[in-house]
């Protein structure tokens, strides 16, 4: 089977064929850095992380670009209100660039914790003002835009294909529009390419139209095509950005360059919290830094991947607890395999590893069906464990199982760490634990169950799982 991707542009699953053989250019809308990242960010960037990992696994040379928006988005509607970063800078009494810097760092901290591999290029909007101005200039020259009063607007009426991504028509937009019609615009659906800055606006730049700042959509057009060319393979982002953001990107870029912008559009769905939309106005936003206090980042990652990227994901404590236990189960299997390898021998292979692998890859090929892929991992886990408990697995079987878990669970999904340690890195700690368990062995021999159970409980509290088995005691770091 070959990779199929659901393309929002055509609304169906299409076979993936890169524009240039063996190479993939992908651009994903990055965060606006005016606050800490939340679980919505996690869903989006974990999903795209797996997409990129999988493309690489398939052998593509992937160039992954993700912007950092450090300017230009306004708090209210399309072309009014305050710059969000400037607003935050006022609240925190910091320079806007400090705000941007602070939350960029915070963003990467969280993503690193989630095991999200860094994009190859993370361009900032403020670092690409010149490129953005160039596009605005070009659009004016070609008659796709008009200048009013130091601001420049895109003229939607000049671009008949406007709406092709989101399936809307300009007429519909007017009919249901809640936007207050800006007196500067010729048409309510027109959008800002460049905005004139008032003197109190801190982030502003010189332009052919006077001092100002870029409109919201232009940075993505400028930075994606600068590094990936036009057209490029994949543009990703959140569903909520499909309209107007991505629609406007298409209009600008295709009008400017006179050729298609993107081949495949991928949109990931949203997070709800206890069944409700998560939003700033609802006050139910869950920051990652808070979530991580309760759940290990890998649990959050696993939880996200247990549902499909195009489905909404409902975040609840109950569901997270279940995910935690599920992931533990997989980790236990891998730990069991790794410790069993030390004492195993034999070269027989009775498990159909290729079958499991094929099923896993088939699931991934089907529009990155990670829940299905994870289910296969559980099936594999059960099979291997069953051999371990009943017949004993051969060394060769354990080696292959270990490699497969690494390849599928670690390399592709990023949910099984390479260094799943069953022992402490510190030798003295290991020796001490062994010593305690040695003493406990004597206590058990004397049938002092209360005391021996206490030792086990206390060690458990310290994060050391002690398991009494038929042929002795075993322990591991949890």
Strands 212-214 and 191-196, sheet pairing? antiparallel
In the complex, minimum distance from the CB of residue 428 to RNA, in angstroms, rounded to a whole number: 25
Contact assessment for residue 436 and residue 459, using Cβ atoms and an 8 Å cutoff: yes
The minimum distance between CB 22 and RNA, in angstroms, equals 28
Q: Which is closer to RNA, CB of 96 or CB of 244?
A: 244
Q: How far is the CB of 380 from RNA (least distance, A)?
A: 10
Cβ nearer to RNA, comparing 19 with 465: 465
Nearer to RNA, 355 or 371 (CB): 371
The residue whose two tokens read 């594999």 is 380
Q: Is 469 exposed, middle or buried (0-12, 13-18, 19+ CB in 10 A)?
A: exposed
Is the CB of 319 or the CB of 344 nearer to RNA?
319
Q: How far is the CB of 275 from RNA (least distance, A)?
A: 6
Kindly state whether residue 472 participates in binding RNA, applying the rule CB under 7 A. Answer: no
Q: For the CA atoms of 128, 133, 134, 136, what is the dihedral angle to 10 degrees?
A: 130
Helices marked H in 177-316: 218-228, 247-257, 288-294, 297-305
Three-class SS state of 371: helix
- Kindly indicate which of the ranges 58-66, 89-97, 129-137, 373-381 contains the residues binding RNA, using the contact rule CB under 7 A: 373-381
Contacts of 303 (CB under 8 A, 6+ apart): 295, 313, 319, 320, 323
Task: Please tell me whether residue 381 binds RNA under the rule CB under 7 A.
Answer: yes
- Give the DSSP H or E segment for 472: strand 472-477
Taking CB under 7 A as the criterion, the residue among 115, 237, 297, 409 binding RNA is 237
- Single out the residue of 386, 391, 403, 429 in contact with RNA (rule: CB under 7 A): 386
CB of 447 to RNA, least distance (A): 8
Binds RNA by CB under 7 A, chosen from 25, 212, 214, 244 = 244
Order of all β-strands in the sheet with 276-277: 276-277, 271-273, 313-315
Considering beta carbons, is residue 11 or 461 the nearer one to RNA?
Answer: 11
Q: Which is nearer to RNA, 51 or 137 (CB)?
A: 51
What tokens were used for 22? 């063996």
* Residue 336 CB neighbours (<10 A): 21
Q: Distance between CA atoms of 197 and 212, rounded to whole angstroms?
A: 4
CB of 462 to RNA, least distance (A): 15
> 475 near 466, Cβ under 8 Å?
yes
The 3-state DSSP class for residue 267 equals strand
For RNA, the binding residues in 252-291 under the rule CB under 7 A are: 268, 270-272, 275-281
For the record, the structure tokens of 425 come out as 């890195």
Q: Which is nearer to RNA, 145 or 271 (CB)?
A: 271
Binding track over 34-53 against RNA, x by CB under 7 A:
----x-xx-xx---------
Q: Which of 202, 239, 344, 436 binds RNA (CB under 7 A)?
A: 239
Please state the closest distance from residue 94 (CB atom) to RNA, in A.
19
Kindly identify the residues of this chain, within the stretch 289-348, that bind RNA according to CB under 7 A: 306-308, 311-314, 316, 318-319, 321-323, 325-326, 328-329, 332-333, 336
**Contact set for RNA, span 10-39 (CB under 7 A):** 11, 29-32, 38
Shortest Cβ 241–RNA spacing (Å): 5
Q: What is the three-class DSSP state of 4?
A: strand
Rule CB under 7 A: say whether 235 interacts with RNA: no
Nearest approach, Cβ of residue 190 and RNA (Å):
12
Q: How far is the CB of 206 from RNA (least distance, A)?
A: 24
Measured distance CA(29)–CA(41) in Å, rounded? 11
Helix axes 247-257 and 129-141, enclosed angle (nearest 10): 70
User: What's the order of all strands across the beta sheet hosting 232-238?
Assistant: 61-66, 23-28, 232-238, 262-268
The residue count for binding RNA (CB under 7 A) is 95
Question: What residues from 165 to 194 belong to the interface with RNA (CB under 7 A)?
Answer: 166-168, 172-173, 175-179
Q: Which of residues 409-468 bind RNA (CB under 7 A)?
A: 444, 449-450, 452-453, 456, 465-468
Site map (CB under 7 A) of RNA, residues 59-98, x = contact: --------------xxxxxx-----x--------------
How many whole angstroms separate alpha carbon 466 and alpha carbon 474?
A: 6
């Amino acid at each position: 089977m070959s990779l199929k991707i659901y393309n929002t542009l055509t609304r169906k699953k299409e076979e993936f064929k890169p524009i240039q053989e063996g190479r993939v250019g992908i651009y994903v809308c990055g965060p606006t850095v005016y606050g800490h990242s939340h679980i919505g960010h996690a869903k989006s960037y974990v999903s795209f992380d797996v997409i990129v990992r999988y493309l690489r696994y398939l052998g593509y040379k992937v160039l992954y670009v993700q912007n950092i928006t450090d300017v230009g988005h306004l708090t209210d509607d399309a072309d009014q209100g305050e710059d969000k970063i400037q607003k935050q800078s006022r609240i925190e009494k910091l320079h806007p660039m400090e705000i941007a810097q602070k939350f960029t760092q915070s963003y990467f901290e969280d993503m690193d914790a989630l095991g999200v591999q860094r994009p190859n290029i993370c361009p900032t909007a403020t670092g690409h003002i010149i490129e953005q101005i160039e596009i605005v200039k070009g659009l004016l020259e070609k008659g796709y835009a008009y200048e009013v009063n130091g601001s420049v607007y895109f003229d939607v009426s000049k671009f008949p294909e406007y709406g092709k991504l989101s399936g809307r028509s300009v007429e519909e937009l007017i009919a249901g529009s809640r936007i207050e019609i800006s007196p500067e615009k010729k048409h309510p659906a027109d959008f800002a390419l460049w905005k004139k800055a008032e003197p109190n606006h801190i982030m502003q730049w010189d332009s052919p139209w006077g001092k100002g700042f870029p409109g919201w959509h232009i940075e993505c057009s400028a930075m994606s095509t600068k590094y990936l060319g036009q057209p490029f393979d994949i543009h990703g982002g959140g569903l909520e950005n499909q309209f107007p953001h991505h629609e406007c990107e298409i209009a600008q870029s295709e009008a400017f360059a006179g050729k298609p912008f993107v081949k495949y559009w991928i949109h990931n769905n949203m997070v709800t919290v206890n069944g409700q939309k998560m939003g700033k106005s609802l006050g139910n936003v869950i920051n990652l830094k808070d979530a991580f206090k309760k759940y290990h980042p890998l649990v959050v990652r696993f939880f996200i991947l247990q549902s499909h990227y195009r489905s909404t994901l409902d975040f609840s404590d109950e569901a997270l607890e279940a995910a935690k236990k599920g992931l533990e189960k997989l980790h236990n299997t891998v730990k069991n395999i790794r410790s069993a390898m030390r004492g195993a021998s034999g070269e027989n292979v009775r498990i159909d590893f290729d079958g499991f692998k094929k099923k896993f890859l088939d699931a991934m090929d089907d529009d990155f069906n990670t829940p299905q892929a994870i289910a296969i991992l559980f099936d594999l886990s059960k099979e291997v464990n069953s051999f371990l408990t009943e017949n004993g697995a051969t060394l060769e079987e354990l080696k292959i199982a270990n490699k497969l878990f690494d390849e599928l669970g670690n390399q592709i999904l990023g949910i099984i760490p390479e260094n799943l340690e069953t022992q402490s890195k510190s030798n003295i700690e290991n020796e001490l634990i062994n010593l305690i368990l040695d003493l406990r062995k004597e206590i058990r021999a004397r049938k002092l169950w209360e005391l021996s159970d206490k030792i086990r409980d206390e060690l458990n509290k310290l994060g050391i799982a002690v398991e009494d088995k038929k042929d002795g005691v075993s322990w591991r770091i949890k």
